[in-house]
Structure 1
Amino acid sequence: MRVTGFDCDVLVIGGGIVGLSTAYALTQAAPGTRVTVLEKEDGPARHQTGRNSGVIHSGIYYRPDSLKARYAVRGAAEMVAFCAEQGIPHEVTGKLIVATERTELPRLHALVQRGRENGIPVRELGPAQIAEYEPEVRGLAAIHVGTTGVCDYPAVAARLGELSGAEIRYGTEVVRISRRPETGVAVLTSTGAVLRARALVNCAGLHCDRVARLAGDDPGVRIVPFRGEYYDLARPGLVKGLVYPVPDPAFPFLGVHLTRGVGGGVHVGPNAVPAAAREGYDWRTVRPAELASTLTWPGSWRIAGRHWRYGAGEIHRSLSRRAFTEAVRRLLPAVEESDLHPAPSGVRAQAVLRDGTLVDDFLIREAPRTIHVLNAPSPAATASLPIGREVARRALGVLGVTRV
């Protein structure tokens, strides 16, 4: 493929919320920029964006100097405003983070301090005050985070795509990339079309490392997929808002939590179990090449060696609804096994370094004519508007547009 003329200025791979937010930011910052989005599915937000609990995160969990902290705090306020302006279902509910064991109290107090460092209003609660917010929830202590909410992220993603004015091609997978740093990028798609662009943005989520390698770049990370399994609560009246456990700081996962969504139902979950495919939404889905990609990455084995006890517990709760119910009862004693009805699962695209380190922050890297978004799991949906602006700023720099 030779890069001669240009079909667009910026070609975005991935029609999730980050890719569509980037397209929106590009056309907002530089009107007249020609943007094309390629998405292999037949609609937007079919994977991470559309398969999560729909929470607008406050930013309380993240290091004050991290991209996650800055973008989540800013993004939460922007997401609420965007949903209100566009008429997208949303609600600012607040949430409780509840300690159920004494060993969790120091971590809970650390979250209070972190929240204050990030400029997030938090209120410390005792057992009686917990009951004021959530009568059925039990705990030794909790904090209330007032800026947390819920929204319809697939609707947000679709609206961003519409507002961007970009050409969005669904059912179009990228199969080959040819790059000429002095001229541009050409992409061959599964439909046989060749598209030429001055700059390429990789927002491929679960496949972002693979797309980076197609472009000739070493991402330095491997996406290791973790499935999160959810249940719907048959008695949603047991939960009024959002209830979370105190997270283990050794992991990027927040633990099994209770989320009342915009439709009034309550999601319970997720856990975090290894998936045998990038889009492995159940135990039956196995893609040998993708599984081999995970198993041949040294970091995968180092994770297993360090955290096998944690992983074994997650797998046990995946295979046993009784065990999952017991985990939920730590927060919600009234729940019964019969209250939990299986709901669609999600898969987290977790970037892992060769040494087994789980990449904790958002990871955006640049290459000639190319911007790669290599780690954007939760709270990426919350932070999608500022992330999109940052990626757009870098892409416009490739085009020689220095002011965003």
Structure 2
Amino acid sequence: MHYRSREVEQVRPKIAYDCDVLVIGGGIVGLSTAYAITRAAPGTRVSVLEKEPGPARHQTGRNSGVIHSGIYYRPGSLKARYAVRGAAEMVKFCAEYGIAHAVTGKLIVATDRDELPRLHALVQRGRENGIPVRELGAPQIAEYEPEVRGLAAIHVGTTGICDFVGVARQLAGSSGADIRYGARLVRVDRRPEFGVAVETARGEVVRARVLVNCAGLHCDEVARLTGDDPGMRIVPFRGEYYELARPGLVRGLVYPVPDPAFPFLGVHLTRGIDGGVHIGPNAVPALAREGYGWGTVRPRELAGTLTWPGSWHMAGRHWRYGAGELRRSVSKSAFTSAVRRLLPAVTADDLVPAAAGVRAQAVLRDGTLVDDFLIREGARAVHVLNAPSPAATACLPIGREVARRALAALAAAG
């Protein structure tokens, strides 16, 4: 074995690598990973390929801008650990670089008696995750939100809001990475003994020692192009929002009590950094991975969703929940009724359609909705396969973890 290894070493061709680590995806997780690599290992050459003409054009730039506290997530999970740590780091990062942000706190409000046990469970979960929580009776809700009605609520003081697109731009500018926009990946040639070569739609070839897949809505496709079986498929869910024409009805952030069976938080009210109030999202299946409206249909992507066994298992288990979401999507009156449970003063005329987002939800073959961040490794590759909300909040610790794995793969590659 010793002599064979020397023979291979002698015939191995000299390869001119364009970079040490190649990151696919210029959203907030990919840019945070590039930022973390260059800080942990100065001198490491990092390139980022992003198919759009600028950063943060999809999940990062199409959400409600909330810095999540971590109260919802299972104690010990990556989401819980990274959200709690990430929220504090995000506030510090924004303050350091002058990015618009505010620590507002938020209310989680129970409007039905059957929600009270779930509300109390959230109190316990928050305490286990080290998050300060104040329990409120119905009269105390008005101290925070005079127009909101409920049977009980909890106030979570560490929740905030920020400009995540601004954060992504700062990460890009501070990383020192070579960031190439308009570079859509079409082919990957990975050879474990030599490295990875990526071809873009423009015909450019980028050679790297290690590839990091942070492609968000397309991460499973990139994993398969690399030759790794991701064991899941991204099933896109569109989040539909309205803007409140009377923003004075809401002071801050107001959420319903979520159903723990789903990774969605329900229709909530969010006063953003611009002073406007967004209401949503409604969560419905998207007909394309970037399907921001019912009119956007991509047959190949839709076929991929429909032929994935997990999609049908998921639909069979959760069709009642999905039917309610679809009803609110096609009926503004149904959406208004859902909002009125929290905010009785709102009317249909108060709701102005706003830009939608799409959540990249990983679904396993048996229909399980992956509820934690999912990072897997292959030969000379690290794949981030599930990083929806609260990934923007947690991007700094996620970036460090992905960077750690990428640097370990780089060291192993020699």
Q: Give TM-score scaled by structure 2 length.
A: 0.96
What is the DSSP-based 3-state SS (H/G/I as helix, E as strand, rest coil) of the residue aligned with 1:49?
coil
Q: Report the AA paired with residue 190 of structure 2.
A: R
The reply to whether residue 120 of structure 1 matches residue 131 of structure 2 is: yes
Offset at residue 4 of structure 1 (A): 2.5
Query: Which of the numbers 155, 161, 173 marks the counterpart of 1:162?
Result: 173
Offset at residue 72 of structure 1 (A): 0.1
Offset at residue 309 of structure 1 (A): 1.0
Distance in 1, matches of 2:291 and 2:14, equals 36
Equivalent residues of 1:3, 1:196 under 8 A apart:
no
Q: Report the AA paired with residue 320 of structure 1.
A: S
Match of 1:353 in 2: 364
Match of 1:382 in 2: 393
Match of 2:71 in 1: 60
In structure 2, the CA distance between the partners of 1:58 and 1:362, relative to structure 1 (3 Å rule), is: same
Q: Report the AA paired with residue 32 of structure 1.
A: G
Query: Which of the numbers 100, 110, 125 marks the counterpart of 2:121?
Result: 110
Equivalent residues of 1:78, 1:385 under 8 A apart:
yes
Distance in 1, matches of 2:276 and 2:287, equals 29
Offset at residue 182 of structure 1 (A): 1.5
Offset at residue 314 of structure 1 (A): 0.4
What is the DSSP-based 3-state SS (H/G/I as helix, E as strand, rest coil) of the residue aligned with 2:354?
strand
Offset at residue 183 of structure 1 (A): 1.7
Q: Kindly, what percent of the aligned residue pairs are identical?
A: 81
Q: Report the AA paired with residue 343 of structure 2.
A: L
Match of 2:10 in 1: none
Question: Which residues of structure 2 form unaligned runs of 5+?
Answer: 1-12
What is the DSSP-based 3-state SS (H/G/I as helix, E as strand, rest coil) of the residue aligned with 1:231?
strand
The reply to whether residue 206 of structure 1 matches residue 217 of structure 2 is: yes
Q: Report the AA paired with residue 396 of structure 1.
A: L
The reply to whether residue 178 of structure 1 matches residue 189 of structure 2 is: yes
Distance in 2, matches of 1:374 and 1:66, equals 16
Distance in 2, matches of 1:190 and 1:162, equals 25
Question: Which residues of structure 1 form unaligned runs of 5+?
Answer: none
Equivalent residues of 1:230, 1:270 under 8 A apart:
yes
Offset at residue 401 of structure 1 (A): 8.2
Distance in 2, matches of 1:399 and 1:292, equals 36
Query: Which of the numbers 82, 100, 124 marks the counterpart of 1:71?
Result: 82
The reply to whether residue 129 of structure 1 matches residue 111 of structure 2 is: no
Equivalent residues of 1:3, 1:180 under 8 A apart:
no
What is the DSSP-based 3-state SS (H/G/I as helix, E as strand, rest coil) of the residue aligned with 2:155?
strand
Equivalent residues of 1:199, 1:370 under 8 A apart:
yes
Superposed, 1:130-279 pairs within 5 Å as 130-279=141-290
Offset from partner CA, 1:143-196 (integer Å, 9 cap, x none): 000000000000000100100011110000110001111121000111101110
What is the DSSP-based 3-state SS (H/G/I as helix, E as strand, rest coil) of the residue aligned with 1:103?
helix
Superposed, 1:81-100 pairs within 5 Å as 81-100=92-111
Match of 1:391 in 2: 402
What is the DSSP-based 3-state SS (H/G/I as helix, E as strand, rest coil) of the residue aligned with 1:80?
helix
Distance in 2, matches of 1:172 and 1:366, equals 24
Superposed, 1:36-55 pairs within 5 Å as 36-55=47-66
Query: Which of the numbers 316, 337, 341 marks the counterpart of 1:326?
Result: 337
What is the DSSP-based 3-state SS (H/G/I as helix, E as strand, rest coil) of the residue aligned with 1:61?
coil
Larger radius of gyration: 2
Equivalent residues of 1:3, 1:183 under 8 A apart:
no
In structure 2, the CA distance between the partners of 1:352 and 1:3, relative to structure 1 (3 Å rule), is: farther
What is the DSSP-based 3-state SS (H/G/I as helix, E as strand, rest coil) of the residue aligned with 1:396?
helix
What is the DSSP-based 3-state SS (H/G/I as helix, E as strand, rest coil) of the residue aligned with 1:272?
strand
Equivalent residues of 1:11, 1:201 under 8 A apart:
yes
Offset from partner CA, 1:106-162 (integer Å, 9 cap, x none): 000000000000000000000111000000000000000000000000000010010
Equivalent residues of 1:68, 1:379 under 8 A apart:
yes
Q: Report the AA paired with residue 223 of structure 1.
A: I
What is the DSSP-based 3-state SS (H/G/I as helix, E as strand, rest coil) of the residue aligned with 2:153?
strand
RMSD: 1.1
In structure 2, the CA distance between the partners of 1:3 and 1:279, relative to structure 1 (3 Å rule), is: farther
Distance in 2, matches of 1:260 and 1:123, equals 21
The reply to whether residue 280 of structure 1 matches residue 258 of structure 2 is: no
Offset from partner CA, 1:218-248 (integer Å, 9 cap, x none): 0000000000000000000000000000000
Match of 2:46 in 1: 35
Distance in 2, matches of 1:179 and 1:323, equals 50
Q: Give TM-score scaled by structure 1 length.
A: 0.98
Q: Report the AA paired with residue 307 of structure 2.
A: T
- The number of residues matched between the two structures is 401
Equivalent residues of 1:3, 1:186 under 8 A apart:
no
Q: Report the AA paired with residue 378 of structure 1.
A: S
What is the DSSP-based 3-state SS (H/G/I as helix, E as strand, rest coil) of the residue aligned with 2:311?
helix
Q: Report the AA paired with residue 397 of structure 2.
A: P
Following TM superposition, the consecutive aligned residue runs of length 4 or more in structure 1 with deviations greater than 3 angstroms are none
What is the DSSP-based 3-state SS (H/G/I as helix, E as strand, rest coil) of the residue aligned with 1:258?
strand
Distance in 2, matches of 1:87 and 1:3, equals 45
Offset at residue 65 of structure 1 (A): 1.1
Q: Report the AA paired with residue 356 of structure 1.
A: G
Match of 2:6 in 1: none
What is the DSSP-based 3-state SS (H/G/I as helix, E as strand, rest coil) of the residue aligned with 1:400?
helix
Distance in 1, matches of 2:43 and 2:244, equals 47
Q: Which moved more, 1:182-191 or 1:369-378?
A: 182-191
Match of 1:19 in 2: 30
Equivalent residues of 1:185, 1:198 under 8 A apart:
yes
Distance in 2, matches of 1:321 and 1:388, equals 39
Offset at residue 5 of structure 1 (A): 1.7
